[in-house]
Amino acid sequence: MSNKQPVFVLAWVTTREQENQMIGHGGSVLFVEHPVRGWEIPGGHLEEGETPKEALLRELKEETGLVGTVEKWNMTYYPEGWVAHIVVDATELEHWNVADDKVRLVQWWNQIPPLKEWTREEFTDLTEWCSKKEFKPS
């Protein structure tokens, strides 16, 4: 585990039922639509005094209205950011109560959504990482 704290954190969100299935192969991942950047995974920057886990769970709640559990961290994919696999129990929500002006829509995707600023490679790499069994740091 890295001792260096990240500048930002991102959430790869799946449901408990699909936590080890890859996007495009039976699994779905939660994406948020940013008004400028397009579809992306929830996340943001750490506020002063926050741990990465606290920041991630706060961002998830703000951007999607969901509460989840951190299953594992990828601390090496982005030089200044960490990605967590977050599992939620909700399998389907019809109404998203989001009061974040940086989120236009929230949606489950079973394939990589249309992209503006992100790359297909990022989401392909993250879905492969998420599908692997790894040690879960406490």
How do residues 73-125 score in pLDDT, each as one tens digit?
Answer: 999 999 999 999 999 886 556 556 677 888 988 998 989 999 999 998 998 89
Distance CA 56, CA 127 (A): 18
Domains detected in the chain: 8-131 (3.90.79.10)
- The pTM score is 0.85
- Sign of the torsion angle spanned by Cα atoms 46, 50, 55, 61: negative
Distance CA 53, CA 11 (A): 10
Write down the mean pLDDT value for the chain: 85
Distance CA 73, CA 83 (A): 6
